Structure 1
Amino acid sequence: MQSEITQQLTAVQFGVRAETVTTYEKDRLDELSKRIETLRKKIKGERQLNRKIEMQMELKKRKDELQSVLKKTGRGNDERK
């Protein structure tokens, strides 16, 4: 039952239909999403260009990492395309 709930939450939050989503994968997706949102907020408030650029690079890394995890989780069944 827990795996069914995890699969449904993943589908709703990330737009991915997966046959099997482990709680570890779901936790990783949640963690990455939270870090991405935090970085976006910090970038908006940052005034110094050099720090802003560093944060944008970090944001890009996290977005790429999130997409990588989504591809592995969704096994190519990404509904957001």
Structure 2
Amino acid sequence: MTARVDALLRCGFVRRIPSTVDGRRIDVELTEAGRAAWRAAIDVVAAEERRLLDALSGEERRLLSDLLRRVALVAERPAR
């Protein structure tokens, strides 16, 4: 985790700040550059999602959503 935070820090996407709750802890928060990069990434993902889902009708999209919801609920359950 430290290596990932260090990389984001070098890019200027995050900053470390002392915790206001626990003096032993360091919190990490997004910078404005980090927020901008996150928004840009979300825009790319959303555009690709729209491109892929354009192949389906509205009814097919609803069915896919329902099926994925069912699979996600099973995935979230503890394994037996």
Q: Using CA pairs below 8 Å that are at least 6 residues apart, which structure has the higher relative contact order?
A: 1
User: Normalized per residue, which structure has more helix?
Assistant: 1
Shorter-chain TM-score above 0.5 = no
Q: TM-score range by the shorter chain?
A: 0.3 to 0.5
Decide which structure has the larger Cα Rg and report it. Answer: 2
User: Normalized per residue, which structure has more strand?
Assistant: 2
